[in-house]
Structure formats: structure tokens, C-alpha cells
Amino acid sequence: MEKGFNSDIAFLGTQYHVQTEDWGSNNPYLVSRVFKNGAVVKSVKTAYTEILPNGPASESKAIRLAMKIQHQQILDLLLSGKLL
């Protein structure tokens, strides 16, 4: 299981916390959540099979990169106003 990413950002005067984590090989998903005032307002879940279609789920570098990309995509969508 890889360590996750956390970001605090403001958009249009509202504070958000974005968290992306790896749920590990027993629950093979990357999950990103957007929090507003402590409540989840958006959740994105990606299966390992989507990020590692041709390789084993133990490829930690690929998982780490996919997690970083997913986290950045969530931040980009949030800041563009397209996520919520």
C-alpha cells in the first residue's frame, strides 16, 4: 500500500481538502475524496485493473504514479469548476 496525497485548496472563497489514497492489494483501488467543511462532497474510485491492465497489482511505482496523476486531475477539475 502506497502513502497518499493531501491538498488544501481554496476555490471561489471555499476551502476544500483533497485526499487520494491507495487501499492496497486486498482492496485494489485508488480513492480520491474532496471534503468541504469535513464532509465528503465528491469521491472518485479507480480499480488497479484500470491502471495496471497488463501488469501485476504489486507494481508500486506504477501505482504511485497513477495515484499522483489522479490526485492532480481532481485538483485541476476542482479549480476549473468542473468537479462540483
Render pLDDT for 29-82 as a digit per residue (tens, 0 to 9).
999 999 999 999 999 999 998 988 776 655 788 899 999 999 999 999 999 999
Q: Is 54 exposed, middle or buried (0-12, 13-18, 19+ CB in 10 A)?
A: exposed
Instruction: Report the domain count for the chain.
Output: 1
Q: What residue numbers bound the domain in which 72 lies?
A: 5-80
Helices vs. strands in the chain: H and E counts, helices first = 2, 4
What is the distance between the alpha carbons of residues 68 and 7, in angstroms, rounded to a whole number? 12
The pLDDT assigned to 62 comes to: 87
pTM above 0.85, yes or no: yes
What is the distance between the alpha carbons of residues 50 and 36, in angstroms, rounded to a whole number? 28
What is the distance between the alpha carbons of residues 59 and 45, in angstroms, rounded to a whole number? 18
